[in-house]
Amino acid sequence: MEIKTDFLVIGSGVAGLMFALKVADSGKVSVVTKKDIFETNTSKAQGGVASVFDDSDSFELHVKDTLEAGDGLCSLEVTEMVVSEGPHMIQELIDMGVKFDRVETDETKLDLGREGGHSAERIVHSVDMTGREIQNVLVEKVKNHPNIDVYENHIAVDLITKATVINRGVIVTTCERECTGAYILDKTTNKVKSFSARKTVLACGGSGKVYLYTSNPDVATGDGIAMAYRAGASVANLEFVQFHPTCLFHPKAKNFLISEAVRGEGAVLRDARGKKFMKEYSPLEDLACRDVVARAIDHEMKKSGDDSVFLDITHKDPEFVKKRFPNLYEKCLEYNIDMTKDYIPVVPAAHYMCGGVATDLNGHSDIKNLYAVGETACTGLHGANRLASNSLLEALVYADRSSKDALDTTDFSIPIEDVPTWDESGTTDSDEAIMVSHNWDEIRLFMWNYVGIVRSDKRLERAKRRIKAIQEEINEYYWDFKVTPDLIELRNIALVAELIIKCARKRKESRGLHFSIDYPFKNDKDIQNTIIKMKN
C-alpha cells in the first residue's frame, strides 16, 4: 500500500505537531506516531519553556547561561537565534490557547520559575505539567485540521531515498542522498505501508530506552537517529547523554521524574543521613547544572553504598508546595510520600540526548528533503550539556524555521514520486521472541554499567565488543523474519547504542555530560564536535 503526502512527519511531540500545523494550509500532511498521539516526551515534560520575559533578564544572559551549560560546544549563532526567537514562539502558543501560569497580583504577567544553570527567573510554565498543556492544545488543533491525517499505532521502519532498493526487507542505499518518504509498519495489521512525500520530518524524540534507567516513555528508542544514520545522514555528539539527577526511586514507580523546578523553588539534596552535600561539588550547590548534580549523586551513592539520595522541600510552606507542584504532590502521595513532610528518594536516570541528526539553522539534515527537529536533532544549541527547559524552546523554534524552509523549497506543481514497494518475500513470521527480549535487556544493562554517567576506556571497549556481537545476531535475524514493532525497536536501540559508544570512544577528554576517568580534564586546545556518518 502506498500513501502519497506532501509532508510526512514521523513523531507527535511538540516539534512534529507544530511543524504539521504550520505547513498544513499549504499541503497534505501525514503524522505518524508509534502509539497514540499523546505518548511523547513532550507530554511528560514538567518544568517549562525557558524564555526571556522579565525586565531583569536579557537575551544576553540567557545566551550566556546556555553557553556555560554547553561547556564550550554550543554554536553561538544557533544559541542567539533560538533565544531571540523564543518569546515569539511562546506568544504563538498563548494565541493557540495554551494556558501558562500568571502572576497572582498581575494577570498580564507570566509567572516565571527558575531552574538549575539559569541566572534569572525565565521558566514559563503551566503548574508542573507544562508539556501536557502544550501537547493537549496542539493535538486538538491537529485533529481538527482537514489537511492533516494522523496515523496512530504506526511505527517507522526506515527512510526511503532515491537510491533505495528493497531486498527481503533489508534496505540498501548508495551515495544518492535524497529522501522520498519512509516505510511504516501498521501495528494493527502487521503490514508495511510505503509513504511517499515531498518532505520528510524526523520528530521521533529521544533515545532514553537505550539505558536501563530512564525518565523517558517506552517509545523513546532512538528511531529517528537510527533511521537517518542508515540512510546516510550525519549524526553528531551522541556521547552527550543527559542523565537527569532526580528520578523518583521507588519499586513501583516507573520513569517518573521529579522536576528540576523543585530545586528551583528551594529544594535541597541530602544523603541518607540527612547531610546536604552539593556544596562540596559546586558553588551553585543544588542549582548547579544537571551534569554536575548527576555526577555528584552518582559519587555519593557509590561512596556510601546507598540506593538513593533524597530531595528535601519540607522547609517550604506546605500550601505553596501543593499549589506549585500539584501533580508531583499527588503522584508522590500514591507512593506514601508526602513531599511537604517527607524527603523524596531520587536517583539519576537517562533523560535527554543532546546529540542527534546533524542539522543546519533550518533543521535540514545533509540528506535532501529530510529534516530533523526536537530531541532527534543536533542543532548546536545544547553543546555538551543541555540547559534546563531549553528543549521545548528549541523544538518550537526549529519547527517554525524548518516549516518555513520546507514551504519555501517545495514545488507543489511537480507530482509526488512513486517509491519502491516493501518486499518481504522469503521471510517468515518471527518464532524467537526470546532473542528480542534478551538482547533488549542486555543492551540496556551494559549501556548503563559501561557507558553511563562515568566512563572509562576499558568500559567502552567492553561495550563495543558486546554491541558488535548483538548486532550480528540482530542482523541475521532481521534477514529471515517479517518485521515486528519489537524487532524494529531492538534494531534501533542497538544501532544508537553503537553510535553512542563510537562517539564516546572518539572523545579523549571529559566535557559536559561525557566524563571519563582516563581523561578527567577538558582539552580546549582540540575542542570539536563528534560527527560520524555511515561509510558507503
Q: Quick check: 162 and 418 in contact, CB under 8 A?
A: no
H helix or E strand, kind and range, residue 117:
none
- Separation of alpha carbons 426 and 481, rounded Å: 8
Where in 313-386 does DSSP place strands (E)? Answer: 344-353, 356-358, 370-372, 377-378
Q: What is the DSSP letter of 428?
A: B
Q: Which residues pair with 195 in a beta bridge?
A: 3, 182
102 is catalytic: no
DSSP letters of 303-329? HH--S-EEEE-TTS-HHHHHHHSHHHH
- Separation of alpha carbons 426 and 407, rounded Å: 41
- Separation of alpha carbons 534 and 231, rounded Å: 8
- For residues 102, 106, 110 and 113, what is the CA-based torsion angle, rounded to 10 degrees? -80
Domains of the chain (ranges plus CATH)? 1-240+354-425 (3.50.50.60), 247-349 (3.90.700.10), 433-532 (1.20.58.100)
Whole-model pTM: value is 0.91
Q: Quick check: 260 and 408 in contact, CB under 8 A?
A: no
Q: Please give the pLDDT value at position 239.
A: 98
- Separation of alpha carbons 203 and 156, rounded Å: 11
Angstrom distances, CA of residue 329 to CA of 258, 262, 339, 349:
10, 11, 6, 20
What string of pLDDT tens digits covers the 536 residues of the chain? 899 999 999 999 999 999 999 999 999 999 999 999 988 888 888 889 999 999 999 999 999 999 999 999 999 999 999 999 999 999 999 999 999 999 989 989 999 999 888 999 999 999 888 999 999 999 999 999 999 999 999 999 999 998 765 555 555 544 568 999 999 999 999 999 999 999 999 999 999 999 988 989 899 999 999 999 999 999 999 999 999 899 999 988 877 889 888 999 999 999 999 999 999 999 999 999 888 899 999 999 989 999 899 999 999 999 999 999 998 999 999 999 999 999 999 999 999 999 999 999 999 999 999 999 999 999 999 999 999 999 999 999 999 999 999 999 999 999 998 988 888 777 777 776 788 889 999 999 999 999 999 999 999 999 999 999 999 988 888 777 888 999 999 999 999 999 999 999 999 999 999 999 999 999 999 899 999 998 76
The residue from 198, 270, 290, 511 that is catalytic is: 290
Q: Please give the pLDDT value at position 169.
A: 52
Q: Please give the pLDDT value at position 504.
A: 98
Q: What is the DSSP letter of 235?
A: E
Q: Please give the pLDDT value at position 255.
A: 79
Q: Which residues, other chains included, contact 6 with Cβ-Cβ below 8 Å and sequence gap of 6+?
A: 23, 26, 27, 28, 29, 197, 198, 199, 410, 412, 416
- Separation of alpha carbons 171 and 400, rounded Å: 32
**Grid cell 525497536 in the structure block, residue:** 489
Q: Please give the pLDDT value at position 359.
A: 98
The bridge status of strand 29-32 relative to strand 148-151 is parallel
Of 361, 386, 397, the residue nearest 82 (C-alpha): 397
- Separation of alpha carbons 390 and 47, rounded Å: 10
Of 101, 113, 131, 27, the residue nearest 393 (C-alpha): 131
Q: Please give the pLDDT value at position 427.
A: 75
- Separation of alpha carbons 82 and 94, rounded Å: 18
- Alpha carbon 310 to its chain centroid, in Å, reads 26
